[in-house]
Amino acid sequence: MTITQNSLAVTIERAKAQEPIGSPCTDVCKLDTETGLCLGCFRSREEIKTFRSMNDAAKLDLFDELLARRAAKEQAKSPRS
């Protein structure tokens, strides 16, 4: 597990425990030029912009999506056997 992976998972767990649900921001705040996703939290610019107005269910759904995006990126980077 890389630091980015660990940081995102830990940040999401902390955010879930907050009331209201907190942000998944990992303080990397740099968008990937190819995907348009933040390199730290894997949110799109639109998701970052609208996060505060999302209801808790939408935020929890987004957290699952962010972890899936991160896992897909890590899998794509892994050498194939």
- 4: nearest Cα among 60, 49, 32, 18: 32
H helices present in the chain, as ranges: 3-17, 45-50, 56-77
For the cut 50, the answer to whether the pLDDT of residue 1 exceeds it is no
- What is the C-alpha to C-alpha distance for residues 42 and 19, in angstroms, rounded to an integer? 22
Give the model's pLDDT for residue 68. 98
Q: Domain residue spans in the chain?
A: 3-74
Report the pLDDT averaged over residues 61-74: 96
Half-sphere exposure in the Cβ direction for 70 (13 Å, CA): 24
**pLDDT digit string (tens) for 7-53?**
899 999 999 999 999 999 999 999 999 999 999 999 999 999 999 99
- What is the C-alpha to C-alpha distance for residues 61 and 59, in angstroms, rounded to an integer? 5
Which pTM value belongs to this model?
A: 0.86
**Is the omega angle on the peptide bond into residue 20 within 30 degrees of 0, that is, cis?**
yes
Confidence bin at 4 (pLDDT 50/70/90) = low
